[in-house]
C-alpha cells in the first residue's frame, strides 16, 4: 500500500483554497491515487455542527479535521484539507497529530484586498460593517505560516499553475513516484507540457 499524507491548505477566505484543492483532486485522480478533500465548510456542516468561530471553536474544528486526515493518510489516502485554519499554534498541533513526515503545509498567499475583490458573497463587506463577527482578516487575526512546505501566490498565478507547483513538490520529495508522474493522463496545454517535461528532466525521470 502506498503511503498517504495530508496536504494542509491554509489562507484567507477567497484566497483560492477550495478552487486549487478541487483541481488538485482531479489531477491526482489521473494518477490513480486515492484522494479525499476535507473542505472546511463541509466539515462544519457534518462534523462540527454547533461550533462557532471563537478561537476555542476554531481550534476544536481544526483538531477534528486533523484527526480525520490522520486516519485517511494512515490507510494510504491523500487527504487534502481546505480550511482557513488561521492560528499557527493550531496548525502546528495538526502537524503533530498527523505526523511531520506525512504533513505538507500549503500556504495560499493572497493579499486581503484581492480576497475582498473576489468576494461575490459580500462576506468581507458584511464583516467590515460588523454584521459578521469573528471574521478572519477583518475582526479576527490570520497568522501566516513561517515555514510552509509550499507557498502559492494566487494573485500572480493561475489555479492550474498552483496545482502544477504542488505536484512538482510532491514529485521532488518522493510523495509521488516516477511511474505516477509518467502515467498521468492529464491533458496539458503546450506550456504546461513543456513545464512538466522540464521538471521531470530535472528530477532525472527523462
Give tens-digit pLDDT for 128-144: 999 999 999 999 999 99
Q: What share of the chain is helix, strand, coil (3-state, %, to 5)?
A: 50, 15, 35
Q: Residue 183 above 80 pLDDT?
A: no
| pLDDT, tens digit, 9 for 90 and up, residues 115-129 | 999 998 899 999 999
Please indicate whether residue 26 or residue 48 has the higher confidence score (pLDDT): 26
Q: pTM score, two decimals?
A: 0.86
Please indicate whether residue 31 or residue 200 has the higher confidence score (pLDDT): 31
The secondary structure element, H or E, covering residue 110 is: none
Please name each of the domains of the chain with its CATH number: 5-157 (3.40.50.300)
The residue-averaged pLDDT of 84-110 equals: 97
What is the structure's pLDDT at 181? 76
Q: What is the largest CA-CA distance in the chain?
A: 56
Catalytic residue among 48, 73, 85, 165: 85
What is the structure's pLDDT at 186? 56
The residue-averaged pLDDT of 28-34 equals: 94
Distances (CA, A) of 54 to 13, 61, 63, 87, 135: 16, 11, 14, 12, 10
Is residue 162 among the annotated active site residues?
Answer: no
Q: How far apart are CA 45 and CA 70, in angstroms?
A: 20
Share of the chain above pLDDT 90, in %: 72
Amino acid at each position: 500500500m502506498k503511503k498517504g499524507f495530508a496536504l494542509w491548505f491554509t489562507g484567507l477566505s477567497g484566497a483560492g483554497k477550495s478552487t486549487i484543492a478541487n483541481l488538485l483532486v482531479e489531477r491526482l485522480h489521473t494518477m490513480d491515487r486515492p484522494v479525499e478533500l476535507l473542505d472546511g465548510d463541509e466539515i462544519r456542516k457534518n462534523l462540527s455542527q454547533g461550533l462557532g468561530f471563537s478561537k476555542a471553536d476554531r481550534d476544536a474544528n481544526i483538531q477534528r479535521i486533523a484527526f480525520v486526515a490522520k486516519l485517511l493518510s494512515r490507510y494510504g489516502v491523500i487527504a487534502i484539507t481546505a480550511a482557513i485554519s488561521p492560528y499557527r499554534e493550531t496548525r502546528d498541533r495538526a502537524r503533530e497529530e498527523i505526523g511531520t513526515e506525512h504533513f505538507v503545509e500549503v500556504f495560499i498567499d493572497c493579499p486581503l484586498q484581492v480576497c475582498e475583490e473576489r468576494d461575490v458573497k459580500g462576506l468581507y463587506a458584511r464583516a467590515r460593517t460588523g454584521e459578521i463577527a469573528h471574521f478572519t482578516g477583518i475582526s479576527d487575526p490570520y497568522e501566516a505560516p513561517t515555514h510552509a512546505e509550499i507557498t502559492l501566490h494566487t494573485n500572480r498565478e493561475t489555479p492550474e499553475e498552483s496545482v502544477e507547483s504542488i505536484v512538482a513538490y510532491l514529485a521532488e520529495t518522493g510523495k509521488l513516484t516516477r511511474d505516477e508522474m509518467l502515467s498521468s493522463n492529464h491533458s496539458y496545454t503546450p506550456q504546461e507540457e513543456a513545464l512538466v517535461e522540464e521538471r521531470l528532466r530535472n528530477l532525472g525521470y527523462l
